[in-house]
Amino acid sequence: MAPDAKSCRHWRLEQDSDGIAWLTFDRAGRSANSMSRETLEELADLLVEVSRRQSAGLVIRSGKESGFIAGADVNEFTGLTGTDQALTLIERGQTILGQIEALTIPTLALIHGFCLGGGLELALACRYRIATDAPATRLGFPEVKLGIHPGFGGTVHLTRLVGPLAALDMILTGRSIDARRARAIGLADYTVPERHLENAARAMIRHSPSPATPGFVRSLPGMWFMRLLFAAYLRRKIAKRADENHYPAPFAVIDLWERFGGDPTGMLAEEARSVARLITGSSARNLIRVFLLQERLKSIGRQGSSVPRHVHVVGGGTMGGDIAAWCAMQGLRVTVQDIDHQRLAGVVARGARLFRHNLRDPRRVEAALDRLIPDLRGDGLPRADVVIEAIVEDVAAKQELFRQIEPRLKPDAFIATNTSSIPIEELAGTLARPDRLVGLHFFNPVPKMELVEVVRGTASAPETVARATAFAGAIGRLPLPVSSSPGFLVNRILMPYLLEAVIMEAEGIPAAAIDRAAVEFGMPMGPLLLADTVGLDICLAVAGILAARFGTEVPQRLAALVSVGHLGKKSGRGFYTYAGDKPVVSEKNEKGPARNELEERLVLRLLNEALACLREKVVTDGDLLDAGVVFGTGFAPFRGGPLHHIRNEGIGRLHERLKRLEERYGERFAPDAGWQELLLEEKESP
Ligand code: NAI
């Protein structure tokens, strides 16, 4: 190390022959950089050293291959107990990044890979930013997704640098942008290929041009009278997508900007107070919890086993086609087999649309298409590391297929079935080696639904389960380990909630009123619209299987609709009548009984089933239950998952309500035995 170099646990400071200080962030013990209290305090000390040295300039960069900085360390948020404590922490962060701003020498952030949240705030505290032009470079403020907004000066600096329109778009949506867009809006001063990064930084420091400004036109919406109008417009726009009581963060950003947009010092102070309030509120706490649950599923997907390179998918229908295209987009070589060659042509056409939408760059689209190979005869079978079966939901057809393909497989290949209702054991019975079969239950639509249930059959080898889990993780999905029981976790929990909606509709309550109660609770879509979208025939089949296993009833109304061909969206009529893709809903038929009553019936059936699944150990713990239900059904993320919601609302109180519903509507509301353990927990807690 050079004599003037200085190293701490997470940072390295070196001075080159031009007198430029290079400060490298390389968080100890982590594969990616995130900002914790400790890393920030070290940065503060090193910045004092930099200002003492009178260097020619300061370049801040990352020592990690994975990217610049992923943001603040979210784990530390959970330890915040009160607003004052949060405020102290945030103000300290602002002060430290303020030290960068206060340096009189040119300062520059050298960005590759992700530069998010607190990482982008650090970059914004520098006078210049240079980013690599690689597709992996992403700049953004994802904070709203955690129920907060930037707190280390990000709202102030971004609006000042790129103008309010572009800044608020990034902050309110949480969407990250690539290097090209960052350059276009003035967030990055230059974008260069990775190999030119250091030279570009040196040149920028040497020439030290005036810092970028957004110019008059882009600053215009920041004038006070424009601010009032624009803030009102933004509030209306956000209110269409999010309820302020459930998701207060974007509304807080608009308030902050409306009140302090012309006063950077006031805005900085209020930014800290606003985040301190949000981060200790229930919405942010629960969204942070959901983020950490997602991290847990991701870490399950990172564990162990080698990852397949060649995937063979049998069945090129709705699911198989999308699974194949998704795998090809993730860089795997994929062969897709179907008995119907037209289906295979459809797979390629759908794949091309997916690739164009997501990859954009024509060379990458072409490469992904090269990896997606239609395979009418199944020539890919002997080379595949994994075979995914996604043919029709028919036991005999699947068994016959397994008999045919098993002799052609590589000895170490495993088979994953996408069945949503057939027990894995029933299919494994036909295999000479049942230990190599596992369930990989993807959800529809595959590119949107991140969750994949990894189903362990009684004969599945632990090694097979581990490989299937690692495979799901490697293709960017969230693997949820579940036991092989009817409906697995997600469909089992959804079904009573859907069926309660069907019963209410049969009682004469308007479909739109039922759906609205669910949406107001925080579900992404009402249960009847969901049933129509999935297809009422499919709902009826799954409900039948679960009813046979659990001795419950399927409402007559569902069978009646299917029998007259009202199958939902695909037939133009189900619980709703459709004009194109949209249900026709008039104000008149939206009226119904009090929302609370409807919500209670829907939600309590879902919660009751969730506790039954936990008691039966369909998943091994409560956090996995919450993760599965949030990512598999979209269960109100700001409530943190069904089990967490029960605890927040009061276990005894919900149990009482369930018993009242049982008295009124009968056995289907009988509290599951799983409540007893929770009631005990509540009694014993101080
Ligand atoms: P689909 O009917 O759209 O596609 C099935 C495809 O399999 C058809 O293209 C058919 O030609 C082909 N096929 C039938 N027998 C074959 C054979 N012996 N060899 C090769 N190809 C054959 O069905 P979908 O909806 O894609 O479902 C497939 C599987 O995924 C089923 O097990 C289903 O339960 C499951 N699933 C479906 C979901 C959905 O929402 N559609 C969600 C999750 C799982």
pLDDT in tens, 263-283: 999 999 999 999 999 999 999
Distance 431 CA to ligand 1 centre (A): 20
Share of the chain above pLDDT 70, in %: 98
Reported confidence tier of residue 1, pLDDT bands at 50, 70, 90: very low
Please list the residue range(s) of the chain that carry CATH number 1.10.1040.50. 492-609
Distance CA 477, CA 453 (A): 10
Distance CA 380, CA 333 (A): 10
Best substitution site from 313, 314, 318, 337 to test ligand 1's pocket, by max atoms within 8 Å of Cβ?
Answer: 318
Residue 305 annotated to the active site: no
Distance CA 201, CA 207 (A): 10
Type of residue at 326: W
Q: Is 314 in the pocket of ligand 1 (CB under 6 A)?
A: yes
Write out the E strands in 544-669: 578-579, 582-583
Q: Atom 20 of ligand 1 has which residue's CA nearest to it?
A: 338
Residue 420 annotated to the active site: yes
Residue from 390, 444, 397, 399 nearest 419 by CA: 390
Superfamily of domain 308-490: NAD(P)-binding Rossmann-like Domain (3.40.50.720)
What single DSSP character describes residue 447?
T
Residue from 454, 508, 460 nearest 479 by CA: 454
Distance 334 CA to ligand 1 centre (A): 17
Q: Is 417 in the pocket of ligand 1 (CB under 6 A)?
A: no
Distance CA 489, CA 632 (A): 9
Output the pLDDT for position 2.
60
Q: What is the pLDDT of residues 237-254, one digit of tens each?
A: 999 989 999 999 999 999
Please list the residue range(s) of the chain that carry CATH number 3.90.226.10. 5-280
Best substitution site from 392, 455, 539 to test ligand 1's pocket, by max atoms within 8 Å of Cβ?
Answer: 392
Question: What three-state secondary structure class fits 352?
Answer: helix
Res 685 pLDDT > 90: no
Distance 446 CA to ligand 1 centre (A): 13
Q: What is the mean pLDDT of residues 368-390?
A: 97
Q: Is 313 in the pocket of ligand 1 (CB under 6 A)?
A: no
Q: Atom 44 of ligand 1 has which residue's CA nearest to it?
A: 420
Is CATH 3.90.226.10 the classification given to domain 5-280? yes
Output the pLDDT for position 223.
77
Catalytic residue among 149, 157, 310, 441: 441
Q: What is the mean pLDDT of residues 4-13?
A: 89
CATH of 492-609, one of 3.40.50.2300, 1.10.1740.10, 3.40.50.300, 1.10.1040.50: 1.10.1040.50
Assess contact for 13 and 49: CB atoms under 8 A.
Answer: yes
Output the pLDDT for position 40.
97
Lowest mean pLDDT among 292-306, 405-419, 625-639: 292-306
Distance 437 CA to ligand 1 centre (A): 18
Residue from 128, 223, 220 nearest 182 by CA: 128
Residue 491 annotated to the active site: yes
- Could you tell me the end-to-end alpha-carbon distance of the chain, in angstroms, rounded to an integer? 55
Reported confidence tier of residue 399, pLDDT bands at 50, 70, 90: very high
Output the pLDDT for position 684.
85
CA distance readout (Å), 259 to 216, 255, 266, 267: 21, 6, 9, 8
Residue from 93, 119, 91, 125 nearest 107 by CA: 125
Provide CB contacts within 8 A for 41, sequence distance 6+: 96
Assess contact for 152 and 93: CB atoms under 8 A.
Answer: yes
Lowest mean pLDDT among 67-76, 119-128, 345-354, 585-594: 585-594
Q: What is the pLDDT of residues 555-610, one digit of tens each?
A: 999 999 999 999 999 999 999 999 988 899 876 555 667 788 999 999 999 999 99
